[in-house]
């Protein structure tokens, strides 16, 4: 079993970094292939983990699906879901996926930022609490109806420009 901190120590690692590759191969047996144009993630469906990469250095033509310059992706964030508890046993603020938002607020304190609203693209409401701990951002994404925890995103604040706080 791992702590969420076991993942954060690799923030900033190049996808092909030897130590990072070793960690991935020892930890996961079902990772998807990283494809620059399709997604910024490699995914372990079995463990409920999505590993995200900053690919802002790549030069792409999304219309033609062409990669002109593919700089190696840098590990910058990850998402964990309820089924990931078989792999990630220690979550931020000692929360667990059975905790609802009021319980998480009691454990974690006042969020640095809360976002709530309706996303036209997803055609659904959202409720998100962000916590900034040093240069790590911890995001709790809730079902807005009953405030149950859907997933947690943990990211390096310096590596994900479009989500920087």
> What whole-number distance in Å separates Cα of residue 73 and Cα of residue 1?
26
Q: In the prediction, which pLDDT does 20 show?
A: 96
pTM of structure? 0.87
Check residue 65 and give its pLDDT.
42
What pLDDT shows up at residue 70?
54
Read off the tokens for 157: 């604040």
| CA gap 11, 74 in Å, rounded | 8
Question: pLDDT per residue over 74-87, tens digit each?
Answer: 999 999 999 998 89
- Asked if 27 contacts 86 with a C-beta cutoff of 8 angstroms, the reply is no
The total of structural domains in the chain comes to 1
Per the structure, the complete domain to which residue 67 belongs is given by 2-163
Low-confidence stretches of the chain (pLDDT beneath 70): 36-37, 55-71, 161-162
pLDDT at residue 60, as a whole number: 40
Please report the beta strands in the chain, taking only residues with DSSP state E, as ranges in sequence order: 2-3, 41-44, 49-54, 59-61, 66-69, 74-80, 88-90, 113-119, 124-133, 136-142, 149-156
Tell me the CA end-to-end span of the chain in Å, nearest whole number.
Answer: 30
The answer to whether 40 and 74 are in contact (CB under 8 A) is no
The upper half-sphere exposure of residue 158, i.e. CA atoms within 13 Å in the direction of its Cβ, equals 6
Q: Check the CA dihedral 114-117-123-127 and report its sign.
A: positive
What does DSSP assign to residue 95? -
């Amino acid at each position: 079993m791992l702590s969420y901190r076991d993942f954060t120590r690799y923030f900033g690692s190049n996808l092909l970094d030897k130590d990072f590759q070793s960690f991935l191969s020892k930890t996961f047996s079902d990772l998807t292939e990283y494809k620059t144009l399709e997604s910024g993630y490699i995914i372990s469906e079995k463990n409920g983990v999505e590993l995200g990469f900053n690919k802002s250095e790549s030069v792409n033509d999304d219309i033609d699906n062409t990669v002109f310059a593919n700089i190696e992706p840098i590990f910058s964030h990850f998402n964990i879901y309820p089924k990931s508890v078989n792999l990630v046993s220690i979550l931020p603020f000692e929360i667990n996926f059975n905790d609802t938002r009021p319980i998480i607020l009691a454990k974690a304190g006042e969020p640095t930022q809360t976002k709530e609203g309706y996303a036209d693209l997803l055609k659904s409401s959202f409720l998100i609490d962000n916590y900034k701990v040093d240069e790590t951002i911890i995001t709790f994404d809730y079902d807005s109806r009953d405030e149950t925890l859907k997933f947690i995103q943990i990211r390096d604040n310096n590596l994900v420009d479009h989500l920087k706080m």
